[in-house]
Structure 1
Amino acid sequence: MMDGYVVSVADALELHPELSDIAPVPQIPRRRERVLDMPDLDMGMLDFLSLYGCELQYVVGERNSIMGRVMQPLNRLRYETRFIRAAETCISETDGEDIQEELEEAIAHKTESLPIAIWNATWGVEEIERLFTLSQGYYPGSGDDKVLAELSSGVKRVNQTVRGLLDGNTDEPLDYVGGVHQLWQAEHRAGQLLNSARLITARLEDATALLTRRVEGAPLCSGSEPEAPPDELVDIYTDGYGADIEDYLGRIEQAREALIKPLDTLAAQQSETMPSAFRDWYRLYLETGNTDSVWGQLARAITAHKERWQQLLTQCGAFPQ
């Protein structure tokens, strides 16, 4: 559709269409660049806590088991929150000052490292790579996108949970997060949106360059009285751009608001934990408020294209609605 639009504009202006190369969007950084090392308690402290007679001994025992030592990021986050809750309960159940000090030290350690566990359970999981894969083409141009609604709802709920955890509420529910991860694994809307944003930007810039050549050349209408622009050109504007292209732009904008913005929030609210290798990619491909990102570039391309159409068609004294 976008290539055809550029060709149609060129034909109507009697110019040669030139389709620029589209710079590929880079993949989301590899998992080893996204996952952060998770500090753990001193083993001597863990041994001590495992012998203490409250629920914490079972939590620590789970971590010390063979399966516990290879926890996936989401399970590790569950463990960290359970540990903090169990340790807080233990403090209220014991009168020994030495034990209370050990527990308080453990809680402080776990609380300090909790943002790392949160990051790894969101941006460090394998499933996020499938959501951002670039191998599944472009965002659909038609149809009721129920998948988008499900993805949007899931990310927004995760954002609420992350905010609560960062604010110190270790009771935040985590049981649903696995289902959100499964949806990320199965769907590819984020990557499709990045592909579409880059494609639309390039082709609008190609069409704008054609319009600019015509605007800066001989006037479209040279008479002193207002006259109608050429029918073919008006058709391209009203049917090609005003209908097909703007309809697709509307879908992209809706999807950006529904999915990309919540994903932006999911990363931004963890900015203090975000690894540097991810930060550069985030700023250019996910940060919707950054004018240098693909979304800022798309916004500029749309504005410039509309302005050139208006400049060209108003040469005839009237601008079609």
Structure 2
Amino acid sequence: MWPSGEEPTVAGARSSTGSEVVIIDNHEALPPVPVPSTSNTPVISKLNVSKSSKFHIGNKFVSVTNNVHRNEVVKDVSFPRYMVDLVKNTTRAERISCIVALLLIITCIILIVYFTVIVQKPIDVDEGPEDWNITRVMWLARLYNNTDVPVNFEPLRLVIIQHTTSSPCKTHLECCADMRNLQNYFLDTHDYDIPYNFLIGNDGRVYEGVGWRKEGAHTYRYNKCSLGIGFFGDYREEEPVHTVVTELQLNRTLLMLEAGVLYGYLDPQYKVVGAKDLKSTQSPGSSLYNAIQKWEHYDHDHLYSNKTCDEIYKLKLKMK
């Protein structure tokens, strides 16, 4: 049915501007499909897509459903070059983050080394008394009935220097422990007290052995008429590991000897010898032996060598 005034103008053909169907020669036909102009349309002959399941062409998203072929080329790259390329491919924020993390790691390593190696490193701290003369009571000596054996000759004319050949004691606590160990050994093994009258610690203190006016057990044939002094340590310089005598040890020993003269325990003309001057031994070791030879009272003339106690006291000493 046609509206009024819109009769077809061509014989055998009807058309309508309001209809999508065109009737030609009594046949219905679809409207012609416009053909796009090839002159303005780009032609894509080959398209490579990587790391994507969809891509955009024009106003459409196209899904990638075909097989993906991966061709990788591995090249040997040096570590410095690799690091340079890695840095170049990072952002500024990433580089800053890496630097901060690296600084934190370095700081942690420094703190670990400091607290495990430096802070916890044992330090020889001498917390002993200021007094350099340490009595038996102070180092907690055991009581022993036979300790108080008096000497037969007074005042003493002979001082014999020896070394213990044991490990040195560098602090007051170590020396006190060594004194107790030394006493326990002689009491339990030989049934007599510490063989020395006094011992000199490597801390520079003088430790009382059996003490003044008591007979020691340090040098055969001379115990009754001599003062035996032992130095903690091994002073043989020819040994790979040896102890070196210090000025503090020597000075404290001389102070003790001066006190002995003052109190009448030592003869003012007393003589100092090393144990090797009286018997076949390496004691007191070359380091200590060389040091005592410089003392004023050292017996350079060997007055007491190969003499008994009685013979020593028959000698008339020259008064200075």
The bucket for the TM-score relative to the shorter chain is under 0.3
Q: Which has the higher strand share?
A: 2
TM-score, with structure 2 as normaliser: 0.21
Structure having the higher Rg = 2
Q: Which has the higher helix share?
A: 1
